[in-house]
Structure formats: C-alpha cells, structure tokens
Structure 1
Amino acid sequence: MQIKEINGPVVKVKDAKTLFMNEMVRVGNYKLIGEVIGIDGDIATVQVYEETSMLKPGEPVESTGKMLSVALGPGLLSSIYDGIQRPLNELIKKSGSFIGRGIDAFGLDTNKYWEVKIIKKQGDLVKGGEVIAEVQETEHLVHKIMVFPNLSGKIVEIVNDGNYKVTDIIAKIEDNNGNIHEIKLYQEWPVKVPRPVKKRLEPSIPLVTGQRVIDIFFPISKGGTAAIPGGFGTGKTITQHQLAKWSDADIIVYIGCGERGNEMTEVLEEFPQLKDPRTGAPLMNRTVLIANTSNMPVSAREASIYTGITIAEYFRDMGYNVAIMADSTSRWAEALRELSGRLEEMPAEEGYPSYLASRIGQFYERAGISENLNGTKGSITIIGAVSPPGGDFSEPVTQNTRRFVKCFWGLDKNLAYSRHYPSINWLTSYSEYTEDLNDWFKENVKSDWNEYRDEAMKLLTEDDRLQQIIKIVGEDVLPDNQKLTVLIAKMIKIGILQQSAFSEVDSYCPLEKQYYLLKIIMDTYQKAKKYVDRSIALSQVLPPEIISKLLTMKEEIKEIKEFEGIEKMLDEHFEKLESTYHD
C-alpha cells in the first residue's frame, strides 16, 4: 500500500483492498498514526492524527489490523494525555517540549509494578464485566480488573496475590468454544464503540456541584447531560474548572479539545496542586486530563472526545460515577467541518457537515446512569462547553447540542462584563431534571427545598419585567411592593446566584448552606411584604444594616449553626417593627 495523494490531514491510499473501515494504519516513512474513514474500491481515505508536512506520494502505508483503541488499566488516574492517549510526559522524554511525529507511546506505564489482590480462583465461571482482581490505584480508589465485556467462560489458570506489571498475564479463561483468552491488568477498547451495559436507569440522584445557581435552580443528575454555551470571556472554562474541582463525582475526565494553549496550561499547572475537598488528597488522584490544544493536528481534536468518553465508560463499568468536562465541543465541530471540507463533502449550514447533529448526538448518548454487566451501578455525566461565535446561540453547534442535552446553562456576556460569576443567565437557562430530582432534595436536604426554589424563580421573573419599566421611567416611580420585589431579587442575584471561584469560603457551598441562604432571604421577603402592604416605608421595613447582612452572609457564615444568629436578628427586627407600627 502506498500514499496516492495528500490533502492536509486527509491522505488517499492506493492498493488498499485489505484495509477495513476505522482501521488504524501507519502512514509514510514517519509511521504517522491514521484512521481509515472511507474505502472506494482499492482506494482508502485516511485521516492522519499528526502533522502531514513532508509526506510524499509513494511512501508506504502499513496496516495494524485493529481499530483506533485506548489502553484501559491501572495508571490512568493522574495521567495527562494527548488526543490519542499518548502520555505527554513520555512524549516530552522522546521529543522535548514540541511533540515529534511518528512517536509511539503506550497509554500506561509498562514498567511499574502494581499490588494485585486476586478475588477469583481457578475453575470459577465468569462472564463479561465480572471483577477478577483489584488494584489500590490511589489511596482512596480501587481499580477493578474486569473480564473483557464480550467474553465468558471458565478460569483455567490464575496467579496468586502479588506485584505485577500491566502487561503481565494474571489469568487465562477458556470460552465455550474451547479457546483460551489471556487476561492482563489492562484491556484495549476501540474508542468509536460504546462499551455495553446491562440496563439503562432513570436519573434520580443529582450531581452535587456546590455551585448555587446550578444546584438550586438548574440541577443536573448523575448520568445527565449539560451544555455551557457562551461567547468569549463569559467564563465557560472557569465554570468547568469549578465543576471539576467540587462536583461529587468519583472520577473526573477533563478534555481540553482545541482550546487555547494558555488555558490548558492553567489546567495542567493548577490541577496537580489542588486538594480534593472530599479526601484531602491531590485532586489529580481522581482525574484524567486529555490535552489537545488548538495548535495540535485538527483530526486528533476529533479523536480526543472519543478517547475521553471511552476512558469514562471503563470507570463507569467498575461502578463509579464519572463526570466528563469537554472544553469545547465547538472546536470539535470545527475539526469535523475542516475534515469534511478536505473530503469534498457537500456542506450544510455554515459549512458544517450534514452529519454534525448525529455526531453530537452519538457523543451525548454515551452519557447515562446504568446497571453494569457485573451488577454494579455507575454513571457518566457529560458537561460540554460550547463556544458560539459572537455569543450567537442560534448557530448550528449550539442549536444541535440543545437537541441532545437536558441542562442548558446559558452564559450571559452582560453578566460577565458586570463581574457577575458564574454568568449563567437564570432566564434563558433551564434544566429538565428538576422534577426527576425533587424527591431526592426533599428527602436529603429539606422538605420545602422545591417550594423556596420555585418562589425565588417567580420573583426573578417578575423582577425582569420590572427592570424593563425601570429602564424607561426609573425605579422611583414604582410602588413600594414592587420596589420590595426588585430589592429581594437583587439579594437573590448577589447573595445566592453570584459566587466567587476564588473565595476560600464561598468557592464551594454545601447543599444545607444553600438551603438556608435561600430560606432566610425568601422568609424575609414574606415577612417584609406584610408590612409593606400595610403602607410602612420600605426603608423602615428593610433598613441598610439588614440588607447588608443578607448580602454578605454567604461569605461570613462558615458553620450552619451560625444561621441561627441571622434568624434571631431578623425575628427581633420584625418584632420591634410590629411593636412600633402595631395598629
């Protein structure tokens, strides 16, 4: 097989009758990694995941006989990969700071020994997904060595507890046809093929993020899907950083897909230094980073999304809850557009390929909460950032993403420019998981959680209507009951919706604290409304010192019991007001 012609990352190969679709090949004298994406007679079309400069027609192309796959086993956590699961630290050793071409680097450390605990014995019957051994990969996470999903049979040979490399054979399984299969500490899986599960389950448990605007107003379930669309500078990346740091997922897979190099540098430098708030250990101990910046080959950008979701499915199969942060799916879509143009396909809206919607759907469909083949329950939550040009939510990537996600956290440039972060617009955002999660919040937080949330949302909606009037005639002409609505809405916006990622106290807010912040503000509204309706001046009902206290309690209160002091202060204030204006 030889190169026939070259068009950027797309290479035509002649005499390619032995190749099959999605097969991984080695292209040219540099042995660049590529994938077969089209076959026409004996001509194959290959997308190359590395820079193709200096390739020439006539150079050889080698078949590998397998699809583009990732290695799944101990050592994934704390690793930093490129888009096709080559460890960046290994690439640095082999080629320096700039990634060389044709470098082959296995996804796992083949020299490290792992302490393996065997939990099956010779003669046991096992089926796909069943756990046969365990490795304590990090201090707080057990890595489970599973039988390949489509394999079942009898264990005819198995090692004892001990220290082994990922490439060591720890067991042999005889299938129903008498064939012997070797089980190692790792398994390979093609990235374009979803890993099977026994049954999909309905979402019923929230992914607790510690971000009030999300947890209270637009919650996402474990196994759910969400999009964070926003223009340049609206805070997409920092919002995803917050979710990666604070969400109660067991594993975080962070995919930097086509983002600027300086943003990925922040992630790569910051994450290894962060402490996991749940365990106190480094956050990287439960994180896998995939770094594919905008200056890396465009086709590898597309592969990075599939690499990340396949790693997530592997941990889900162990029974863990995994959260994927994809930043950003717009860059992935742009990679599809560029490759589609190179392939001379008929363009659809704004030059994107006609299959854009189906590719986005295939990605988000791999999220979900499920019963695994081994009987455990696990979930994959996908949170994808979208970067619409000029913040235009009507463009194709944003619109097609909305079709497949159930949470839409729309970022607003006006909020961002006024330093209101996270800049999630409470009027254009929505969550379709709210009803599914109502019972959980009632049982695990407080029974009136949903009532307070709905009341606050109505008040914010009414405030938006009043703001249109204020723009025309000013706030002074409003009656006191409407001024009260505007004032309480301001308290909700500043005291609840606004949350600093850099605050030691407020960067993460537990659910119970979120509840009391909301409860106190909404209870204050109901009490104040009674006095305003009795024509008592709003300045008397809610004096500046009360307003200041309600706006700053998110930062000042560190323990839940401290809310008792706030409630006592408010009770004394309204009792004094009642005695002063008693009829």
Structure 2
Amino acid sequence: MVPWGVSGEIMEISSGSFTILETVARIKGPSGIVDISLRQEWPVRTSRRVQGKLPPLIPLITGQRVIDSLFPVAKGGTVAVPGPFGSGKTVVQHQLSKWADSDIVVYVGCGERGNEMTEILTTFPELQDPKSGKPLMERTILIANTSNMPVAAREASIYTGITIAEYYRDMGYGIALMADSTSRWAEALREISGRLEEMPGEEGYPAYLGRRLSEFYERSGNSKVFGTPERIGSITIVGAVSPPGGDISEPVSQNTLRVTRVFWALDSSLASRRHFPSINWLNSYSLYQSELLPWFSKNVSEKWPEIYRNSMSILQKESELQEVVQLVGYDALPDREKVVLDTARMIREDFLQQSAFDEIDQFCSMQKQYMMLQSILHLGEKEDEAVLKGASMNSIQQMKCRNMISRMKEVKDSDFQKYHDELREAIDTEITDVLRRL
C-alpha cells in the first residue's frame, strides 16, 4: 500500500479498522515523515512506471473461435474493433468481459447509451466466473459515462479506466480493459479543443489526436512490475471505434489502427445475417500471430500452424471463387472447386459462427476449437480425394456425417474427444462407401 515514489524506514504501523482517509502508517524518508493511508492518489493522465515490458508470448483466451483460432490477441496486447452502428461492437466486448482469461475486467462506457451499462449491471451478477465460481460482477469494474454526462467527464473516463487497470496490474493481475467507444472520447476532445480555440486538424479533431491515442494504447503491455515478491501483470486494451457511416478512413480509426496490432473488422452484412461474432475473416488481421504460434504448438497441438494456414487459405480461395460463381454460376464449376466452397461453408457456418445465448456454444476451449477445425479440414481432404477418384459432389453432399459436423457446437467439452473420434470414423467409413458405389 506504499504509494509510488515513497521509500524509507517504517516509523509506526497501526492495526484495526480504518477508513480510507485515516493514517495507518508513517514512513521516514529523505524528505521527512510521510503519512500513509489506505487511499492512493495518482494523476490519471500519467502512466505508472514498471521495471520493464515483456514480449507478448501468451494469448488471451476468449472462448470465441474466430478470435482465438484466426485473429488472437496476446496478453498485454492492443485491439481495434471498428464497425458501423449495429455491427456488434458492444456484443463482442460483452463476450470478452464474460469469458476472457483475465483476472479483472475494466469496462469503460464512454459516451454510450445508458441501456448498455444497465445490461451489464443486470446480467453480470447472474453470471458465474468460471475460475472462482463467484458472480462475474465481483471481478468487473465499470466506469459509467453515458452520452448525457458532461463532456469533460467523458474525456477523463478513458484515463480513469486505464489508471485503475494499472493499479491492479501493479499487484500482479492480468487486466482486460474494454473501451466503448474511443470515437465518443475523440468527439469530447474535439469539443473541448474547440472551446479552447485551438487550431483544428482533420475533420475538426485536435492536431494532437494521434498522440493522445498513442499515449493511451501505449499504457497496455505485459510488464514486470515493481515490488516484492517479483510480479508480472498485464493490461490488454480492446478499443471499440464507431466511425460515422462505417467509414474507417476517418481520423480516429486511422490513428487507432496505426498503434494497435490486432484489427477485428466488424461487418454489418454479417450482423444482419445473424452471424456472430460478425468479424470479417478477409479484412481482419493479428500481428501477434507469428509470436503466438509457438504457444499454440506447445499447448494445443504441433499441427496448429498447419491447420491455421490451411483454414485461412480455404477462406481466401472461397472469396476468389465467389466472383467466378457470380459470372458463370455454381453448376459450371469443376467438382474440386465445389469441394473448396463446401469446406469454406462448413468453416464459416459450423466453426466461425457462434451463439452468445447457447450455454454450451458461448464459450469454446482451445482443445475443442482444434478438434472442430481438424474435423472440418479432414472431411474436406477426404472429399477432394473422392472427387479425384471420380465421385460426384451430389453423392458426397448426401453423407450423414455432415450432420455430425453441424452438431459439433452442441457437444460439451468433456464429451468432445469421444464425439471427435466417432466423427472421424464416420467420415472415413462413408467416403469409402461412396467410392465403393462408383
């Protein structure tokens, strides 16, 4: 409880019950005697110091398949989540707040609607923390700054949230900070800058917008903190951006993308089709992928890098084939290309799509994710082999094991290994039957 910058000899320390303002200890330092209370004060716009930053080598497991498998974020990393109105930014952040592998969640509602904060207050106490078994609200801190509050408070809310996160990071905890939304914070900066009669920059935002955003995101990181015993804490920042009309070429989105290393591109067309999470797999990226692959290879499977590359390659090829389908139609495609489209459809609908309201599907462990993706790719490889030997896509599409692929989401983690083995056996058996009938 000794504040940063205070050192010396403990003159006295008290026991008993105290308020946060009462003196509990006195320390004699070079500048004299300092009274210590249970409260610490810190300027929110100044970052707290650490011994050093550590490389991002451990992923933040979220239980969301499209994130963990394709676009992972490291503990201590930074994420930008831009998207138009109604594309699911808040839903993604709520899911991360519920299921992310962090000790404490700091949720900053900056200039958002009051009903979103109300939803957290009503749903989180009913949810159970998978680690402790206690209500999720006990590890969640809310900074409520709705759109009807003063503009100066909105500008300070982001800094308040990151300073609280740093306070707990210095205790050795892993923090996930959800900033919803930095666009409203930037609008507050613009309004304050206008009242101060400062020279405006692009679209009226202050010329120092990029620097302020950089300072905020730079306070993230996986850090070795001061104190004994030796501790390591992390702050992972997930910042939502609400560009007007979904145009990410505007200043806030561009300055955010410049300093963050993960980009989850939310797609309103996916959201309108009820595809959750509505993260576009063609436009998104994660610059942590190469640094995290060794962790996945060691803790999930040695085949993980190969499965990841194959999955992304199939989704990319599907996008190219869709353009051909628009011109000549699906029936004109060769059967091998139909296999690619079929495998990509299974990846999209049976793996990437995930229900936030299903008790089993709302969280998916890494082992289950690996086996689901492995099963889909295994079926795709067997289909390709069968087509090369003369089988038709019509006969392949009538196989019953395809229904088992669709039901993978409904199987509990504890039962999935058995289900996975039965599914692979069914795939091999039915492909053999198709080839025998030729």
Q: If the TM-score is normalised by the length of the shorter chain, which range does it land in?
A: over 0.9
Shift of the alpha carbon at 1:267?
Answer: 1.8
1:153-302 correspondence to structure 2 within 5 Å: 153-160=8-15, 162-177=16-31, 179-302=32-155
Shift of the alpha carbon at 1:551?
Answer: 2.0
1:159-558 correspondence to structure 2 within 5 Å: 159-160=14-15, 162-177=16-31, 179-374=32-227, 375-558=230-413
CA deviations over 1:497-534 (Å, ceiling 9, x no partner): 11111111100111111111001001111121111112
Residue type at the aligned position of 2:52: K
Percent identity between matched residues is 53
Shift of the alpha carbon at 1:579?
Answer: 4.0
CA deviations over 1:557-577 (Å, ceiling 9, x no partner): 542222222122222223333
TM-score normalized by the length of structure 2: 0.96
CA contact (8 A) 2:391 2:435 kept: no
Q: Residue 571 of structure 1 aligns with which residue?
A: 428
**Based on CA coordinates, which of the two structures has the bigger radius of gyration?**
1
Q: Residue 560 of structure 1 aligns with which residue?
A: 416
Shift of the alpha carbon at 1:539?
Answer: 2.3
Structure 2 Cα separation of the partners of residues 163 and 474 of structure 1 = 76
Residue type at the aligned position of 1:494: E
Provide the secondary structure at the position in 2 that maps to 1:281.
coil
Shift of the alpha carbon at 1:220?
Answer: 0.1
Residue type at the aligned position of 2:379: T
CA deviations over 1:253-301 (Å, ceiling 9, x no partner): 0000000122222122222222212222110111100110111111110
CA deviations over 1:356-375 (Å, ceiling 9, x no partner): 11111110000001100113
Gaps of 5+ in 1: 1-145
1:67-106 correspondence to structure 2 within 5 Å: none
Q: Residue 82 of structure 1 aligns with which residue?
A: none
Provide the secondary structure at the position in 1 that maps to 2:111.
strand
Of the structure 1 ranges 521-530 and 267-276, higher mean CA displacement relative to structure 2 is found in 267-276
CA contact (8 A) 1:226 1:407 kept: yes
Structure 2 Cα separation of the partners of residues 151 and 450 of structure 1 = 48
Shift of the alpha carbon at 1:472?
Answer: 2.2
Residue type at the aligned position of 2:434: L
CA contact (8 A) 1:223 1:368 kept: yes
Of the structure 1 ranges 538-547 and 337-346, higher mean CA displacement relative to structure 2 is found in 538-547
Shift of the alpha carbon at 1:159?
Answer: 2.8
Shift of the alpha carbon at 1:168?
Answer: 3.3
Provide the secondary structure at the position in 1 that maps to 2:407.
helix
Structure 1 Cα separation of the partners of residues 61 and 193 of structure 2 = 39
- Corresponding pairs, count: 434
CA contact (8 A) 2:386 2:431 kept: no
Residue type at the aligned position of 2:401: I
Provide the secondary structure at the position in 2 that maps to 1:384.
strand
Shift of the alpha carbon at 1:216?
Answer: 0.3
CA deviations over 1:388-430 (Å, ceiling 9, x no partner): 1111111111111000100000101111111111110001100
CA deviations over 1:63-99 (Å, ceiling 9, x no partner): xxxxxxxxxxxxxxxxxxxxxxxxxxxxxxxxxxxxx
Q: Residue 111 of structure 1 aligns with which residue?
A: none
Gaps of 5+ in 2: none
CA contact (8 A) 2:222 2:232 kept: yes
CA contact (8 A) 1:512 1:560 kept: no
Higher helix share: 2
Higher strand share: 1
